[in-house]
Structure 1
Amino acid sequence: MVKIKLNDFKYRYDVYHMFNLFYNFNNIEFVEEDYDFHVTILEEKIEIFDKDEQLACFEIYEDFKKNDQVKGAIFKYLREKTGKELPWGVLIGIRPTKKVLDFMDQGKSEQDILRSFIENSFVREDKARLCIDIAKVERKNVNKDKKSISVYIGMPFCPTRCLYCSFTSNPISSCKKIVDDYLTTLNHEIQVMKKFIDEKNLKIECVYFGGGTPTSISEKQFESTLFNIYDNFVKGRNVREFNVECGRPDSINAAKLSSMKKFGVNRISINPQSMNNDTLKSIGRNHTVEDVINKFNLARKLGFDNINMDIIVGLPNEGLEQVRNTCSELLKLNPDSITVHGMSVKRASKLHEQIVTGVFNIREQKELNAMYEETVKLSKELGMKPYYMYRQKNMVGNMENVGYAKPSKEGIYNIEMIEEKQTIIALGADAVTKVVFLDDNRMERFPNIKDVREYIKRIDEKIEKKIEILETLY
């Protein structure tokens, strides 16, 4: 536990998050006595004490926002104290490209933006350049038409629940009695929302079937659901991207892949997360590295020419050697895009408890930095460029999730989803509809019910409320 005494709670949020960057597996509390650190924020300076001994004093300048100077002072102090080099500096927002896009709208040059990231936010130069490069891609592709939408369909079942998972996913083995009812309810929601989309003459740019794991259901259930999606949202429309998150290799077979080809799916994901069998077993995935390779090759044989693969950096007990092996195996497979995720550890999760108690080991910052560098190297060897990025709280190494793609293989839905400039109508348990008001530069979110049984019971109520919100835009 890290205990902090703070004189001005107006800055509590900023102080908490700076300490959390450096002590992210510790509980952080604000106290009056028996503290580890004493942060005093005055009009003209910021003082940071350690056990009543003054260790640092930072002058406050009138030309800069005071809360930014508070974050900067604590960051510089803790960087020196801990020896950790955090590549994203003080930035904690999940969409750093938004900051770049705002600067671009203000007419700032790339050099000015780069300087601001490095000097004001202490971002490492390569990360600042990455942010600028991705912002330029997003600016070209992001939606500008309120009549253009995407549709998300969620499947809340998985073969097993991964140790690190924070999404709605229920092991299919324990949910077989409600799967048919869920699919019937989902099809009802599909029919109603299709009618709304047609009445409002909306244009569907992307259809994304995710989860969970859509392919965790039976072949017959999968084909029927896929047909319903195709018939209502794809057939006869100029849909640019129909994406299915196959995800788990142990849920993919020739029949399901053939169904996807039959109904026009033009982008799929086959996600190993790691190409190390020991890791796969420890995180609760029932497939092997060999399964990943076999299912990937099967998809290629059946004609899929846009395959994404996800990997995670910072998995329990994985170090530089394991990440190098994962990258080496993916290089042999030669996918069309890769998405590199930083491990995000939720404080309430079983994984967090196991890390704190020493069951699992997470590598030190220096090695984590080197692990991420291996993924950058992989993307270049595959001839890919970064095209979208987002960050999460409690990511090991304070890094980022970034998508790399070969030319013309970018995931369009990923860009629209992250930049939040396009309305996304979401269907299924826990799916979140985002209604984007471009003219007002604002967004309203409307979540479906998370619990599958409650979703089935209350679907009409939720559809009605969702349409009410959509009606305020359309």
Structure 2
Amino acid sequence: MIFLSCSNDMYTYNTYHLAKAFFPEEEMQQNVAENMEDVFRITFPDGRVFAVKTEDIPEGADRGGKKYAVDVALYKACREYTGRDLAWGILTGVRPTKIAMQKQEQGMDEASFVEWFHEDSFVSPEKAALAWKIAGREKRILERLDYRDGYSLYVGIPFCPSVCSYCSFSSGPIDYWRDSVEDYLKALMKELSWIGERAGEKGKKLNTIYIGGGTPTTLSEDQLERLLSHIDFCFPRGELLEYTVEAGRPDSITEGKLRVLEGHGITRISINPQTMQQKTLDLIGRRHTAGEIEDSFHMARSLGFDNINMDLIAGLPGETAADMADTLEKIRALGPDSLTVHSLAIKRAAKLGQEKSATGSIAALAGDPAVMARELSAMIEEAYGAAGRMGLFPYYLYRQKNIAGNFENVGFAKVDKAGIYNILIMEEKQSIIAAGAGSSTKILLDEPITVPGSRHGRKTTLVRAENVKNIREYITRIDEMINRKGEWLWR
């Protein structure tokens, strides 16, 4: 057990996630005590206490400077206690490449950035160099976009053939929700109609469309046809650079559905195995075989899809580095145009995070933490090597809370096959307007505003408008979802 005490709630987020990165298997208890003598205090598992005192905070430091001082002190204390460093240092955010891109735009060179990132945030030189290279590729890809008048569209389909044990997305099994699908599509199309009308009124240019979920191909051929036809009707495609649909699960893919996608000019699809190990597919609740993954891929290729992404997850329960190497070899034989490698993140909403052993750890499912960390490191290294052998280069990167081993998720792609939407969702350079249950709209403003509800007057140029996750509530409250966007969208 680890105890964290903070004198102000502004320290709670970073300190919790930084401590969790060093001690992923430990239970955490955290409290805010405004009258405590120290600024911050951590009690380690053996009872040792480390405190950040008032005099440890630079005099006159602003809110950001105070948080930074506490983060640095906590990192050094945890490093001394454990005898190890974290690859991403004190960073708890999901977008390290955003920092690298900002420094590039300010004129910093790579060597200076790597040195600065290591000294400032304790990021390893290897990860700093990776962030720099990926940010450079992202910057070149995004140069074609109009940030001010361009936008991207996300369409969420919250249904899957079955819910995987590691998943925390707001999706449900199609068999349970089948009687609600038509009502869901009716509400979704209403929201899409409104977005299309508002964009047309304001002269906005649609650059990318991403239909995700869930698994969009759980819809029937007729439902897919009607949805895609509605999108065609609502949104001009003169400025469209990319149109992605997550075909995702091979047990949802048919030749007829692929023909529907092809008929509507979809330029990029994902067929996501997560692993090619049948024992793991069975364990995590994927109701298909590794052979069906290969069959679906070959079917898509035969129908002319020339930009196919595949997703893998490193660190799935029971898997070893040898399993990952075998999976990567099978993926290499297929020859996808892009490959996204995720490090497993155990989230509260996922069954894998809830199914705990009698000791309260996930070791029974995911293996011994020390062994798992070594295996995961070997898996990630193997994935980087395999991607290079396939002619794929890293083009986007993000991190998640509770990510195993303090690693990262990386997208690899052929030179001209990088997913533009994937970069945009990370770099937040353009408004992304989202429709569907559980989707999140991100609206970029021309001028900064005070964050709604902020206790400290923080400013932002990014406003989020969230749709409810519950499918039934989304259907019954669709007008409210539209009004949430209308308050901010291109005023």
User: What's the TM-score once normalised by structure 2's chain length?
Assistant: 0.87
- How far did residue 448 of structure 1 move? 1.6
**What's the CA shift string for 1:81-115, capped at 9, x where partnerless?**
43445321221111011211232333322111100
Tell me which residue corresponds to 2:235: 233
Match of 1:102 in 2: 102
| 8 Å Cα contact 2:202-2:490 kept in structure 1 | no
In structure 2, the CA distance between the partners of 1:213 and 1:72, relative to structure 1 (3 Å rule), is: same
- C-alpha separation between the residues in 1 aligned to 2:468 and 2:80? 46
Q: Compared with structure 1, are the counterparts of its residues 88 and 69 closer, same or farther at alpha carbon in structure 2 (3 Å cutoff)?
A: same
Instruction: Confirm or deny that 1:190 pairs with 2:195.
Output: no
Q: Is the 8 A contact 2:17 2:401 kept in 1?
A: no
Match of 1:211 among 203, 210, 213: 213
Output one character per residue of 1:12-50: Cα deviation in whole Å (capped at 9) or x when no partner.
54443332111123221248998623112235669xxxx
The one-letter code of the counterpart of 1:401 is N
Once structures 1 and 2 are overlaid, which stretch shifts more, 136-145 or 240-249?
136-145
User: How far off is 1:10 after superposition?
Assistant: 6.8
Alpha-carbon spacing, 1:38–1:8, altered in 2? closer, same or farther (3 Å): farther
State which of 474, 477, 480 in structure 2 corresponds to 1:455.
Answer: 474
Give 1:429 shift. Answer: 1.2
From 403, 410, 414, give the equivalent of 1:402: 410
Percent identity among equivalent residues?
Answer: 41
Q: What displacement does 1:359 show?
A: 3.1
CA distance in 1, matches of 2:123, 2:42: 34
Shift of 1:77: 4.0
Residue matched to 2:150: 148
Shifted more, 294-303 versus 447-456: the winner is 447-456
How far is the alpha carbon of 1:135 from its aligned partner?
1.0
- How far the C-alpha of 1:338 sits from its partner, in A, is 0.6
Q: Could you say what secondary structure the match of 2:243 adopts?
A: strand
Q: Secondary structure at the match of 1:360?
A: helix
Contact kept, 8 Å, 2:50 with 2:77, in 1: the verdict is no
Correspondence for 2:293:
292
Query: How far 1:287 moved relative to its partner?
Result: 1.3
Q: Shift of the alpha carbon at 1:304?
A: 0.4
Distance 1:321 1:420, change over 3 A: same
Q: Determine whether 1:382 maps to 2:401.
A: no
Counterpart residue number, 1:54: none
Matched, 1:445 2:450: no
**What amino acid does structure 2 have at the position aligned with 1:88?**
W
Q: CA distance change for structure 1 residues 115 and 156 in 2, over 3 Å: closer, same or farther?
A: same
CA contact (8 A) 1:6 1:40 kept: no
Distance 2:53 2:408 in 1: 34
- Pair 1:311-2:330 in alignment: no
Which of 359, 362, 383 is 2:364 aligned to?
359
Segment of structure 1 superposing worse, 140-149 or 406-415: 140-149
Deviates more, 1:283-292 or 1:236-245: 236-245
Which amino acid letter does the alignment assign opposite residue 18 of structure 2? M
Secondary structure, aligned partner of 1:199: helix
Residues 255-283 of structure 1 show CA distances to partners (whole Å, capped at 9, x for unaligned) of 00111111100100000001111111111
Distance 1:5 1:149 in 2: 42
Question: Is the Cα–Cα contact under 8 Å of residues 7 and 41 in structure 1 kept in the other structure?
Answer: no
Mapping for residues 308-347 of structure 1, pairs under 5 Å: 308-347=309-348
* Residue 328 to residue 76, structure 1, CA distance change in 2 (3 Å): farther
Q: Is the 8 A contact 2:315 2:366 kept in 1?
A: no
Alignment of 1:199 onto 2:222:
no
Distance 2:295 2:249 in 1: 12
* Counterpart residue number, 1:433: 441
The aligned amino acid for 2:397 is M
- 1:33 to 1:121, Cα distance in 2 relative to 1, 3 A: closer
1:173 aligned partner: 175
Residues 399-455 of structure 1: per-residue CA shift (max 9 Å, x gap): 111111101101011111111111111111111111111454611111122111111
The residue that corresponds to 1:411 in the other structure is 419
> Residues 44 and 162 from structure 1, CA distance in 2 versus in 1: closer, same or farther, beyond 3 angstroms?
same
Distance across 2 between alignment mates of 1:208 and 1:171? 21
2:163 to 161, 180, 191: 161
Match of 2:37 in 1: none
Assess if the C-alpha contact under 8 Å between 1:4 and 1:37 holds in 2.
Answer: no
Letter in 1 for 2:324: V
Deviations 1:350-371 (A, max 9, x none): 3123351543024432222111
Which residue, out of 431, 435, 451, partners 1:423? 431
Asked if the contact 1:185/1:456 (under 8 Å) is kept, the reply is: yes
Contact 1:84 1:365 in 2 (8 A): no
Matched-pair contact (CA < 8 Å) for 2:228–2:264: yes
Specify the SS of the correspondent of 2:365: coil
Q: Is the 8 A contact 2:169 2:214 kept in 1?
A: yes
**Partner of 2:468: helix, strand, or coil?**
coil
Bigger CA drift: 236-245 or 71-80? 71-80
- Tell me the CA shift for residue 161 of structure 1: 0.5
Moved more, 303-312 or 30-39: 30-39
Q: Equivalent residue for 1:52? A: none
With normalisation by structure 1, the TM-score equals 0.90
State the SS of the aligned residue for 2:355: helix
Matched AA of 1:407 = V
Q: CA RMSD in A?
A: 2.5
Kept in 2: contact 1:25–1:352 (CA 8 A): no
The offset of 1:230, in angstroms, is 2.6
Deviates more, 1:16-25 or 1:27-36: 27-36
Structure 2: tracts of 5 or more residues without a match: 32-40, 449-459
Give the whole-Å Cα distance in 1 for the aligned partners of 2:474 and 2:10: 40
Given the superposition, is the C-alpha separation of residues 61 and 207 from structure 1 closer, same or farther in structure 2, using an over 3 Å criterion? Answer: same
Query: Mean Cα displacement is larger for which, 262-271 or 339-348?
Result: 339-348
> Which residue number in structure 1 is paired with residue 380 of structure 2?
372
- Structure 1: which 4+ aligned runs deviate by more than 4 Å? 4-14, 30-35, 43-46, 60-67
Give the Cα–Cα distance (whole angstroms) in 1 for the partners of residues 486 and 77 of structure 2: 50
Write the deviation string for residues 185-212 of structure 1: whole angstroms up to 9, x where unpaired: 2122222222222121111000111111
Tell me: CA distance 1:5–1:398, structure 2 relative to 1, closer, same or farther (3 Å). Answer: same
Q: Work out whether residues 4 and 39 of structure 1, in 8 Å CA contact, stay in contact via their aligned partners in 2.
A: no
Deviation (angstroms), 1:463:
1.3
Q: Is the partner of 2:328 in helix, strand or coil?
A: helix
1:40 to 26, 46, 51: 51
Q: Report SS of the residue matched to 1:284.
A: coil
1:62 deviation in Å?
Answer: 11
Q: Tell me how far apart the structure 2 counterparts of residues 154 and 13 of structure 1 sit (CA, whole Å).
A: 29
**Mean Cα displacement is larger for which, 9-18 or 360-369?**
9-18
Counterparts of 1:225 and 1:153, CA distance in 2? 10
How many pairs were matched up? Answer: 458
- What is the alpha-carbon distance in structure 2 between the residues aligned to residue 396 and residue 4 of structure 1? 21
Following TM superposition, by how much is the alpha carbon of 1:8 offset from its aligned partner in structure 2, in angstroms?
A: 8.3
